[in-house]
Amino acid sequence: MQKIITIAKKEATDSLGDKLFLVLLIFLLMLVVISIVVASMDFQNKVVEYNQSVKILESLGGGADSIYAPQFFPLKMLRSVVDYLEILGAVIGIILGYLSISKEKGKNTLQLLLSRPVKRWEIGLGKILGNSFVIWLVLGIAMFFIYGIMGFLGGAQLTGMEIMKLILVFIFSYLYIMFFFGLTSILAIKFKLLFNALLISFVVWLVIVLIIPQIGDTMDPDNQIPGGFFKAMNIAKSQEKQIMGNFKNYEFVRNATEESSITKHYERLSFALLGVKDEYNGKTIFAILNDKWWDGLWVFLFFLAPLFTELLIFEKNNLLINKE
Amino acid sequence: MKLLTVKTIAGGEFKTLVRQKTFVLLLTIFLFMAAFSAFIGWSTKNTVTKIYVATVRELISSGTKKMPVNPFLSAPPLSILKNMPTYVFLIGSLLAIIIGYSSFVRERKAGVIKIIFSRQISRVEFLLGKITGIFLVLSAIVGLSFVLSFFSVVIISGQMLVFSEMFKLLMFYLVSFLYLIIFAMLGLFFAIFAKSESLALLAPMIIWIFISFVMPQLTSALDPNSLLNPTSIQSIMPQSVFFTSTRFLLEPFSVSENYKTISQSFLQGDIKEYPIFSLIVYLFFTMSIPFLVIKKFNVCEVEIE
């Protein structure tokens, strides 16, 4: 156990000392601040628009029953934070995975490490634990920032339940980031040219994080015209469901495209916990997880698969012949 | 300035880039997406038209007399390519960054920069050769995508494009080419400037994230994922002082948003705006800085890490 902790400590110290990692951390925190500021301004804008509409309706002699007052849910303001964690969190995972292997390959230190009485899986596990610590540190700082900014900007104090939901979102964010860490580590071990490993990781990132969810969104019939197709057609939600029931195959293909990406599962679960979709606001964590367990399971499986593979590669493969 | 030297370097650069496996991989993905974009556009248009018919039937049965017009009735043939700007903006930009980046990092890594600059080649000639090579490669990619998109639209729609539509498609790819040049130049700049290989690749990507997601979010309040949808889900822009101010200050420089607006004008024909200002500013800026940094580039420094 001591050996694993020593390797983990070394791994964490190396990552935290790398300029590249610091640049990414600062950029992520900047994005967190921008996201919350924009969301807060957007909410204020909606309140002003609502008040103006009420005034107009009242001046026309009618009531304001036909329009809904925007409701403030502090966690809802974190929608863009999740989007940025999807994009930049994955990049952080890729960079950590890349650095974790490239420094050993570049300096030939893996041979030295393997000549010591340390088991191969212990090296792999030490690396995973060390980088897990770094990712938790990043997420912890981001969470601290979120809590501080929300209180400072909007005077929004999070309730115990909201804090629990936020912590759960960050637990799943960790699993999500670790998927990219594991994937890049595997590629960096397997590829002779480290640059190619990094490049392939970025291509996978582009496809999983941005392109697959984009295809799913683009195929959504409701996303075809500004403001929404069904809204433009004056169709009620119940009628919409009835109509879409006739297009099950199309919806199946669209959904299957989205399901193939860990990003979409992470997003669905996080959005439900944050109450981005109104139907989840006010629901207990248990009720949300009961509804979204499928997405949670997928994120967990996506998290486990590359990490187990990495440990297997450390155990079975001749790591020395792949040095650059 | 010796034109022959520039031509030789450009030719060498073109051949090397085309031979690279990673480049071929990215090119394949890009061309696949060009064809796929047409397929998705066609499939979605067909399905949504059927949904419209089903919706009208539902409205008739519920007693509605005034039927909304089919919103896809007036869509031009090129609208099935509406996903293409998103792929240029995602895959194309990454491809361009890598092309620009690898064109200089390759020499730095191999340690041949010292040898090259010990010859009678000026730094400006060297850089001009590299940039011309990058231009050639990008124009080949964009040219291939144009041909692919053209045939996709003709095959899917079952009719030949009229001259005005062909011109619009050509203009869309010309603007896309200029947009890609910006990112290729960013990649080239950081490849000359950065001390480590990873930072040289990551720095333009961070700028790309800022330009593509953060700037549009500040002006429209749209979250990053919504920005990838070719049809804005937002019907009106927020009108508060904050957003009108950020729009006034940032929109002229929000090159990705402006690129999407121009592309929509050409492909979907629903917006008649051509905000070209940001494209010119970024092109001028990104094409100038490699020339400034190459002059100060220290050939005696240790090789890139």
- Asked whether B188 and B181 are in contact (CB, 8 A), the reply is no
pLDDT digits (tens, 9 = 90+) for B152-178: 888 887 888 899 999 999 999 999 999
Confidence of residue A324 (pLDDT cuts 50, 70, 90): very low
Distance between CA atoms of residues B169 and B162, nearest Å: 11
Q: Write out the two tokens for A277.
A: 């979709």
Nearest to B51 among A35, A99, A221 (CB): A221
Total domains in chain B come to 1
Distance between CA atoms of residues A14 and A8, nearest Å: 10
pLDDT digits (tens, 9 = 90+) for B241-299: 888 888 888 888 888 888 988 998 888 876 677 888 888 888 888 888 888 887 777 76
Collect all residues with Cβ–Cβ distance below 8 Å to B209 and sequence separation of at least 6.
A27, A87, A88
Range of the domain at B257: 3-296
In this model, does residue A323 exceed pLDDT 50?
A: no
| Interchain contact B31–A (C-beta under 8 A) | no
ipTM: 0.80
User: Which of the pair, A152 or B165, is modelled with greater confidence?
Assistant: B165
Distance between CA atoms of residues A178 and A127, nearest Å: 12
Within 13 Å and on the Cβ side, how many CA atoms surround A92? Answer: 31
Q: With contacts defined as CB-CB under 8 Å, which chain B residues touch A39?
A: 221
| Interchain contact B249–A (C-beta under 8 A) | no
Nearest to A229 among B48, B203, B223 (CB): B48
pLDDT digits (tens, 9 = 90+) for A176-222: 999 999 999 999 888 877 777 888 888 888 888 888 888 888 888 87
Residue B260 lies in a domain: yes
Compute the average pLDDT of residues B229-234.
64
Distance between CA atoms of residues A163 and A204, nearest Å: 33
From the CB of residue B122, how many other CB atoms can be counted at a distance below 10 Å?
Answer: 15
From the CB of residue B108, how many other CB atoms can be counted at a distance below 10 Å?
Answer: 20
Q: What's the confidence (pLDDT) of residue B76?
A: 83
Residue identified by tokens 């009835």 is: A242
Q: What's the confidence (pLDDT) of residue A311?
A: 86
Q: With contacts defined as CB-CB under 8 Å, which chain B residues touch A215?
A: 40, 83
Q: With contacts defined as CB-CB under 8 Å, which chain B residues touch A88?
A: 209
pLDDT digits (tens, 9 = 90+) for A219-276: 888 777 776 778 777 777 787 888 888 888 888 888 888 888 999 999 999 999 998 8
Distance between CA atoms of residues B47 and B52, nearest Å: 9
CB pair distance less than 8 Å for A210 and B90: yes
| Interchain contact B250–A (C-beta under 8 A) | no
Collect all residues with Cβ–Cβ distance below 8 Å to A93 and sequence separation of at least 6.
A135, A176, A177, A178, A179, A180, A181, A183, A184
For B71, the 3-state DSSP assignment is coil
- Mean pLDDT, chain B, integer: 83
Q: What's the confidence (pLDDT) of residue A166?
A: 92
Residue B302 lies in a domain: no
Q: With contacts defined as CB-CB under 8 Å, which chain B residues touch A98?
A: 198
- Backbone dihedral angles phi then psi of residue B97, each to the nearest 5 degrees: -60, -45
Compute the average pLDDT of residues A70-96.
86
Within 13 Å and on the Cβ side, how many CA atoms surround B226? Answer: 18
User: Which of the pair, A323 or A166, is modelled with greater confidence?
Assistant: A166
Residue B69 lies in a domain: yes
For chain A, give the number of residues. 324
Percent of chain B with pLDDT over 90: 12
- Asked whether A266 and A294 are in contact (CB, 8 A), the reply is no
Residue B213 lies in a domain: yes
- Asked whether A181 and A91 are in contact (CB, 8 A), the reply is no
Residue B304 lies in a domain: no
Give the residue from chain B lying closest to A31, CA to CA. Answer: B214
Nearest to B243 among A45, A224, A226 (CB): A45
Q: What's the confidence (pLDDT) of residue A71?
A: 74
